[in-house]
């Protein structure tokens, strides 16, 4: 938060690159939502869930093994997302994007809707939407029922064919939505600056976007209070939090120099 002790020279250097950039790609992870009260993914398996590996819960295998347990885990997380509000960092990113039309591409690993609620609806979602449902299987009868019509239950079940409802997120072992990943990779290749906020860099292929940007010649800056697995891709590291650093990085970057 505001108490972050940031190196003024690093802050000034990253601001100068952002100010001059024609294209900025921002990649956010679970740390972006932490100050809105949503536990990071690694922390999402605490309390009731502390005996489970989140990657096991966030998998088709885990869901098939115990649909009710996984459904309840998501129900608890969904309630947390609905109760959360975007923080100053989300608002700073959206405001920067609006002040500089055509400059910002915002890519998130997060499954919450905080970037959208902060005013950036065009956020590219690599790992889906925790607030949406989908069917576990293709319908054996070829029907196109709406998961919202499923029976009440934990999880709900299709009244026509017995199909289970599951959250519309990308589980471990599942491929990312092709259009989202392609758009994210194009933005990483084309950007002048990549800003990576609040990710451990542990999950692929999302973590690879920092490597793509670096290889393509972008300046890479990381915002994270702790070390991450992709720090070696950074030209600049700002050891602070999303809500503390982003407003100081972006808020006074006004409209582009005419
Ligand atoms: C796939 C939805 C084809 C579900 C999620 C290459 C190498 C190694 C492994 C693989 C590889 N390619 C594929 C894999 C396998 C796997 C993978 O990456 N495994 C890892 C764990 C080793 N990837 C996949 O399965 C992907 N699919 O590639 O398909 C395939 C399949 C199998 C094998 C090969 C190819 C699908 C991955 C998507 C999984 N779904 N989410 C749900 O949420 O329930 S990912 C999930 O974990 C989250 O969405 C999140 O994105 C991710 C965790 O990462 P972070 O966002 O970084 O969060 P984390 O908690 O780790 O870290 C938080 C960070 O925030 C920390 O650094 C912390 O310091 C910082 N922080 C804390 N507070 C703050 C802060 N920062 C700023 N401010 C703060 N206040």
The residue among 169, 201, 227 that closes a domain is 169
**Same domain for 46 and 107?**
no
Task: Specify the number of domains making up the chain.
Answer: 2
- According to the model, what pLDDT value does residue 50 have? 72
Mean pLDDT of the chain: 93
**Same domain for 109 and 194?**
yes
Q: Which of 87, 127, 211, 235 is catalytic?
A: 127
Q: Are 86 and 115 in contact (CB under 8 A)?
A: yes
Range list of H helices, 66-191: 67-83, 88-99, 114-117, 178-190
Catalytic residue at 127? yes
Angle between helix 178-190 and 208-215 (nearest 10): 40
Q: Are 221 and 195 in contact (CB under 8 A)?
A: yes
Report the atom number in ligand 1 closest to the C-alpha of 29.
56
Tens of pLDDT, residues 78-111: 999 999 999 999 999 999 999 999 999 999 999 9
Cα dihedral sign for 123, 21, 101, 244? positive
CA of 158 to the centre of ligand 1 (A): 30
Of 1, 2, 31, 212, which is best to mutate to test ligand 1, by the most ligand atoms within 8 angstroms of its C-beta? 31
How far apart CA 109 and CA 29 sit, in angstroms, is: 5
Q: Are 18 and 186 in contact (CB under 8 A)?
A: no
**Same domain for 78 and 196?**
no
**Same domain for 236 and 110?**
yes
226 lines ligand 1 (CB under 6 A): yes
**Same domain for 66 and 11?**
no
Q: How far is CA 56 from CA 51, 110, 128, 150, in A?
A: 11, 17, 17, 25
Report the atom number in ligand 1 closest to the C-alpha of 58.
44
**Same domain for 194 and 122?**
yes
- According to the model, what pLDDT value does residue 254 have? 74
Range of the domain at 54: 39-83+129-169
Q: What does DSSP assign to residue 151? A: P
**Same domain for 213 and 94?**
yes
CA of 147 to the centre of ligand 1 (A): 27
131 lines ligand 1 (CB under 6 A): no
- Between 45 and 119, where is the model more confident? 119
- According to the model, what pLDDT value does residue 2 have? 46
CA of 55 to the centre of ligand 1 (A): 9
Per-residue pLDDT band for 122 (boundaries 50, 70, 90) equals very high
CATH number for the domain harbouring residue 65: 3.30.1600.10
CA of 153 to the centre of ligand 1 (A): 29
73 lines ligand 1 (CB under 6 A): no
Of 203, 208, 210, 245, which is best to mutate to test ligand 1, by the most ligand atoms within 8 angstroms of its C-beta? 203
HSE-up (13 A, CA, CB side) for residue 105? 25
- Nearest CA owner, ligand 1 atom 47: 41
Strand ranges (E), 119-214: 124-125, 128-135, 165-169, 193-197
Strands 128-135 and 165-169: antiparallel
- Nearest CA owner, ligand 1 atom 73: 31
**Same domain for 147 and 218?**
no
Tens of pLDDT, residues 44-65: 666 666 777 888 899 999 999 9
Q: Which of 86, 105, 84 is nearest to 23 (CA)?
A: 105
* The pTM of the whole model exceeds 0.85: yes
Tens of pLDDT, residues 130-179: 999 999 999 888 888 899 999 999 999 999 899 999 999 999 999 999 99
């Amino acid at each position: 938060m505001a108490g972050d002790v940031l190196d003024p020279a690093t802050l000034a250097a990253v601001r100068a690159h952002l100010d001059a950039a024609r294209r900025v790609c921002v990649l956010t992870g679970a740390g972006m939502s932490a100050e809105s009260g949503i536990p990071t993914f690694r922390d999402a398996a605490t309390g009731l869930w502390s005996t489970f590996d989140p990657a096991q819960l966030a998998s088709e295998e885990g869901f098939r093994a115990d649909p009710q347990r996984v459904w309840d885990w998501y129900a608890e997380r969904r309630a947390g997302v609905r109760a959360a509000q975007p923080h100053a960092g989300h608002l700073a990113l959206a405001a920067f994007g609006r002040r500089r039309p055509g400059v910002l591409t915002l890519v998130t690993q997060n499954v919450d809707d905080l970037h959208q609620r902060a005013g950036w609806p065009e956020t590219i979602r690599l790992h889906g939407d925790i607030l949406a449902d989908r069917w576990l299987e293709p319908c054996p009868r070829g029907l196109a029922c709406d998961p919202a019509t499923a029976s009440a239950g934990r999880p709900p079940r299709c009244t026509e064919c017995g199909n289970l409802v599951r959250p519309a997120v990308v589980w471990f072992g599942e491929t990312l939505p092709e259009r989202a990943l392609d758009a994210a990779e194009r933005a990483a290749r084309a950007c002048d600056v990549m800003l990576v906020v609040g990710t451990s860099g542990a999950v692929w292929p999302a973590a690879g976007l920092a490597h793509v940007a670096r290889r393509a010649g972008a300046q890479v800056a990381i915002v994270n209070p702790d070390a991450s697995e992709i720090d070696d891709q950074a030209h600049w590291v700002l050891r602070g939090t999303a809500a503390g650093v982003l407003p100081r990085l972006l808020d006074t970057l006004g409209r582009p120099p005419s």
